[in-house]
C-alpha cells in the first residue's frame, strides 16, 4: 500500500469516525430535547385534567380509572407520584402521563409518532451529510496525499539517480518549511557533500596514478634489460601487473568524471566479441557462441574493453568453462565458478573490493563505467545451474540484423 493510499484511507476513516460520533451526539441530544418538550406539554395537560376532574368536569381526552395503562406508569401512580412514561411497545409510540386524585386515577396520553418520524428524518439527513462529508474528506485527503507523494517520489527518484552515479541530480526547493521541504534540502546537501568527496577522491586517485606512472614505466623498462632467468621473469611480470594496475586506476578516475564520451559507429556485435576474446590473455579457452548476430551503433573500443574485463574476471574469480554468447543485442559472459558474491548482486561492482578476497575489484568497476558511458545496461546474476553470468544489454543500440556466424 502506497503512501497516498495510506493517507487517503487514514483521512477517510477519521472523517467517517467523526461523522458517526457527531451523528450519534446530535441524535441523542435531539431525542432527549424532544422527550423533555413532550413531557412538559403532557404534564401541563395532566395538571389541567386533574383540576377539571376535581371541579367535576371531565374532558374527552382525559382517562379516569382506565383498565389498561403501562405497568411502569401504574406502579408510579400507585406510589402516589405524578409520572410520565413513553411506551414504545406498540406499532406507534405513545407518551402517557398520570396522577392520583383521591381514589381516582387520572391519565392522559399523546401520540409520539410525529417526534419519532422527525427523529428518523434527522437520522436520514445525518447519514447523507456524514457520507458526503466523508467523501469530500476522502477527495481532499487523496489530493493532499498526491501532492505529498509526488514530492516524496521526486526526492526518491533523485536519491536513486545519485546512487546510480549521477552527482548532478538535484531537487528544486519550494516554499515552505514542512518536513518534505527539509527532506529536499537534506537530499541536495547530501548530494553536494557526496559530489565533493568523490571529486576529491577522484583527484587524489588520478594524481597518485599519474605520479606513479613515470617510475612504473621506468621500472618496466629496467626489468626488460635484466638478463634472462627466473628472477628476471618474475620482476618483469610484477612490473607489467603494476603498470596495468596504474592504467586501470587512471581509467576508473576518468570514468568517474563526466568528460567521457562514446565515439559511435555501426559494428557487428559478434565481430566485436570475437576480437575482444581473442585479445584477452587468459589461461584458458573461451567459447564464443553467436545465437543471433546484429549491427549495433556503439563505441566498439569500449564494448571490447567490457568483454575483455568480463572474460578476465570469469577466469580470475570464476572457473572454466567460460562462454561469451551474443543473442541479438544481448551479450552474455558465463562461467562455471561459485557465482558472484551477494554484495555485488545487490550493490553492483565497487572498486577496491571483491568477494573473493583477491584483486582490487577494478575490472568489473571499469566494465560498469564503460557501459554507463555507452548508455547500456550491465547486470550480474547467478543462474540456477550454477556459475556467474554478466549481461551487457545493447538492445537500444541495435540497428539491424547481421548474418549468423557459427
The model's pLDDT over 168-188, given as tens digits with 9 standing for 90+, comes to 778 777 666 777 788 788 888
Closest among 335, 331, 330, 325 to 406, alpha carbons compared? 325
Q: Give me the residue label for grid cell 474528506.
A: 137
For residues 266 and 244, give the distance between their C-alpha atoms in angstroms, rounded to a whole number: 29
pLDDT of residue 358: 47
Beta-carbon contacts of 341 under 8 Å, excluding residues fewer than 6 positions away, are 354, 355, 356
Measured CA to CA, the distance from residue 331 to residue 367 in angstroms comes to 13
Whether 158 shows a pLDDT value over 60: the answer reads yes
Instruction: Give the sign of the dihedral formed by CA 138, CA 139, CA 144, CA 148.
Output: positive
The average pLDDT across 110-114 equals 90
The predicted structure's pLDDT at residue 360: 47
For 343, other C-beta atoms within 10 Å of its C-beta total 13
Check: CB of residue 94 under 8 Å from CB of residue 109: yes
Alpha-helical regions (H) of 55-112? 71-78
Lowest mean pLDDT among 7-11, 32-36, 293-297, 357-361: 357-361
Identify which of 298, 205, 215 has the alpha carbon closest to the alpha carbon of residue 254: 205
Q: Which of 127-141, 150-164, 357-371 has the lowest average pLDDT?
A: 357-371
Question: Does residue 253 surpass a pLDDT of 80?
Answer: no
Largest CA distance in the chain: 150
| CA distance to 120, 122, 128, 230, per residue, from 23 (Å) | 12, 9, 10, 97
> Would you say 339 and 314 are in contact if contact means Cβ atoms under 8 Å apart?
no
- Report the pLDDT value the prediction gives residue 25, as an integer from 0 to 100: 93
CB 97 within 8 A of CB 43: yes
Q: For residue range 314-347, what is the model confidence (pLDDT) as tens digits?
A: 888 888 889 999 998 899 999 988 888 888 888 7
Give the ranges where 101-178 is alpha helix by DSSP (H): 113-163
Contacts 24+ apart (CB under 8 A), 3-6: 3/145, 3/148, 3/149, 3/152, 4/142, 4/145, 4/146, 4/148, 4/149, 5/145, 6/145
Residue 390 has pLDDT above 60, yes or no: yes
CA dihedral of residues 305, 309, 312, 315 (deg, nearest 10)? -140
Q: Report the pLDDT value the prediction gives residue 283, as an integer from 0 to 100.
A: 60
- Whether the predicted pLDDT of 406 surpasses 50: no
- The mean pLDDT of the chain is 83
Distances (CA, A) of 385 to 143, 335, 337, 371: 49, 11, 11, 26
Pairing of strands 330-335, 388-393: antiparallel
Percentages helix, strand, coil for the chain (3-state, rounded to 5) are 60, 15, 25
| Span 261-273, pLDDT tens digits | 778 889 999 999 9
- C-alpha–C-alpha distance, residues 288 and 132, integer Å: 69
Which three-class secondary structure state does DSSP give residue 1?
A: coil
Burial class (CB in 10 A: 0-12, 13-18, 19+), 92: exposed
Are the C-beta atoms of 303 and 405 separated by less than 8 Å? Answer: no
Q: Are 188 and 170 in contact (CB under 8 A)?
A: yes
pLDDT for residue 356:
47
Amino acid at each position: 500500500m502506497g503512501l497516498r493510499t495510506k493517507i487517503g484511507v487514514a483521512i477517510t476513516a477519521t472523517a467517517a469516525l467523526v461523522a458517526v460520533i457527531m451523528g450519534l451526539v446530535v441524535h441523542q441530544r435531539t431525542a432527549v430535547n424532544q422527550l423533555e418538550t413532550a413531557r412538559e406539554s403532557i404534564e401541563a395537560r395532566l395538571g389541567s385534567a386533574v383540576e377539571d376532574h376535581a371541579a367535576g368536569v371531565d374532558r374527552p381526552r382525559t382517562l379516569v380509572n382506565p383498565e389498561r395503562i403501562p405497568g411502569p406508569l401504574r406502579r408510579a401512580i400507585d406510589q402516589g407520584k405524578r409520572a410520565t412514561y413513553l411506551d414504545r411497545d406498540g406499532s406507534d409510540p405513545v407518551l402517557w402521563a398520570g396522577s392520583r386524585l383521591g381514589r381516582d386515577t387520572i391519565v392522559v396520553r399523546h401520540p409520539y409518532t410525529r417526534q419519532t418520524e422527525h427523529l428518523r428524518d434527522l437520522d436520514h439527513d445525518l447519514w447523507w451529510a456524514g457520507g458526503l462529508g466523508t467523501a469530500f474528506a476522502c477527495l481532499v485527503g487523496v489530493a493532499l496525499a498526491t501532492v505529498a507523494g509526488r514530492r516524496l517520489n521526486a526526492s526518491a527518484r533523485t536519491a536513486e539517480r545519485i546512487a546510480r552515479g549521477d552527482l548532478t541530480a538535484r531537487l528544486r526547493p519550494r516554499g515552505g518549511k514542512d518536513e518534505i521541504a527539509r527532506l529536499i534540502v537534506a537530499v541536495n546537501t547530501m548530494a553536494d557533500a557526496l559530489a565533493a568527496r568523490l571529486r576529491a577522491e577522484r583527484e587524489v586517485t588520478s594524481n597518485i596514478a599519474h605520479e606513479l606512472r613515470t617510475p612504473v614505466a621506468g621500472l618496466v623498462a629496467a626489468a626488460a634489460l635484466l638478463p634472462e632467468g627466473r628472477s628476471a621473469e618474475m620482476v618483469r611480470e610484477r612490473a607489467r601487473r603494476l603498470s596495468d594496475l596504474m592504467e586501470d586506476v587512471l581509467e576508473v578516475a576518468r570514468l568517474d568524471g563526466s568528460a567521457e564520451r562514446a565515439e559511435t559507429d555501426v559494428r557487428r556485435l559478434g565481430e566485436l566479441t570475437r576480437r575482444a576474446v581473442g585479445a584477452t590473455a587468459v589461461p584458458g579457452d573461451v567459447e564464443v557462441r553467436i545465437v543471433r548476430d546484429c549491427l549495433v551503433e556503439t563505441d566498439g573500443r569500449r564494448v571490447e574493453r567490457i568483454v575483455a574485463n568480463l572474460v578476465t574476471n570469469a577466469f580470475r574469480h570464476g572457473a572454466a568453462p567460460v562462454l561469451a554468447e551474443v543473442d541479438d543485442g544481448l551479450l552474455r559472459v558465463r562461467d562455471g565458478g561459485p557465482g558472484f558474491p551477494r554484495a555485488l548482486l545487490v550493490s553492483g561492482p565497487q572498486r577496491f573490493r571483491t568477494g573473493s578476497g583477491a584483486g582490487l575489484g577494478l575490472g568489473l568497476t571499469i566494465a560498469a563505467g564503460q557501459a554507463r558511458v555507452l548508455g547500456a545496461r550491465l547486470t550480474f546474476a547467478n543462474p540456477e545451474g550454477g556459475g556467474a553470468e554478466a549481461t551487457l544489454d545493447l538492445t537500444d543500440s541495435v540497428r539491424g540484423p547481421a548474418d549468423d556466424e557459427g
